[in-house]
Structure 1
């Protein structure tokens, strides 16, 4: 019997440990510096139905109200592999001279260009001392707050489901105690957006954002 007790005890402790890892839940909150490179926007102009097409040099304005921010909930199923749900409130503004040339007084997704994805996550615990590098990628949807006003007075103001989105990220997490960690990461988000403008108009544009995020993670 004694010869069986120790192996059984070690096996039981291994099961408990693996279950504890499998129940590793984290909630991460972040902000940062977010930009958006040029992309084309096209569609039909409200009221007239005339088509428009232009290359827009989007501005991010990360720290102006409403600010850029995000939240991620991660369920680590093992020491390395996890799954996450992530929401990001990104922002893009069309510069004044470019939107005026198209016939718009306002052309922006600032409350915001919202992205929701389901991610697969992979980490290397304490790979660099106590620091843990990680990567992730996910697929989801874009549901921006569309804020367009034409120079002739047609206004579109509200949330729309505009198309699919994808996310890639890589970062490093550093623990400050047993429950909290600080992290920094890079994120790339791509979305395809098609929506309606009041007055019979439409828009279509692909939005790409780059962000350097910093935030805090709470472990449960």
Structure 2
């Protein structure tokens, strides 16, 4: 089972990449973005086995609860190489809670990825500077891994509570930014993520599900 040490190694890799962006040539532009917003997730099917319930396969409705602690948020670093194309890394703290009735039907007392359904990707981004009367539209995408905090308790079974690296992930983003001055900007965007998750359950068993999220984000950018 992947552990907090795995999360630490992946986080360290992201920090190293961000540090590399900061050390980029002076003529390059580095942009750091912080955002939050409203994130949801449509239904998905969970499949697997658990020590107490045996095999299960159930369609689960998910809730995002974006503003409940811990809140939904994201961090992104982009190195704009030639003004129009950028490359970088992004971490988003997505989160999902299973609908209570669906969770019970599947044989679980607790089923959530709330600290969170963490997505780490390497991105490529295209922008069109000042194309809309001072607004700069952009689109981007990336591939990476899902590192959720798995919180699962089967009825009558042991609890699973911890970080795991559960599988591949990807994201797509489209939005527009507005420069407040040479350094600071604000932005709004739509973001979609996909993650294919295979989590190990304590006591034996597994849980597999594919999660899609949709989010409307607002944020602050800083360029140097």
- Give the alignment's TM-score, normalised by structure 1: 0.89
Aligned partner of 2:86 among 71, 82, 86: 82
- The reply to whether residue 28 of structure 1 matches residue 33 of structure 2 is yes
CA distance in 2, matches of 1:71, 1:110: 17
Q: Unaligned regions of 5+ residues in structure 2, if any? A: 1-23
**Alignment length (residue pairs):** 201
Equivalent position of 1:155 in the other structure = 159
Unaligned runs of 5+ in 1: 1-18
Deviation above 4 Å: which 4+ runs of structure 1?
A: 19-22
Counterpart of 1:107?
111
Given that residues 51 and 157 in structure 2 are in contact (C-alpha distance below 8 angstroms), is that contact kept between their aligned partners in structure 1? no
CA shift for structure 1 position 88: 0.3
| Length-normalised TM-score, structure 2 | 0.87
- Alpha-carbon RMSD across the aligned residues, in angstroms, is 1.4
Within 5 Å, give how 1:156-175 maps onto structure 2.
Answer: 156-175=160-179
Match of 1:72 among 67, 72, 76: 76
Aligned to 2:63, what secondary structure does the other structure show? coil
Q: Deviations over 1:81-120 (max 9, x none)?
A: 0102000000011011111111111000000000000010
Q: 2:212 aligns with which of 198, 208, 211?
A: 208
8 Å CA contact 1:21–1:79 kept in 2: the answer is no
CA gap of 1:136–1:21, structure 2 versus 1, over 3 A, is farther
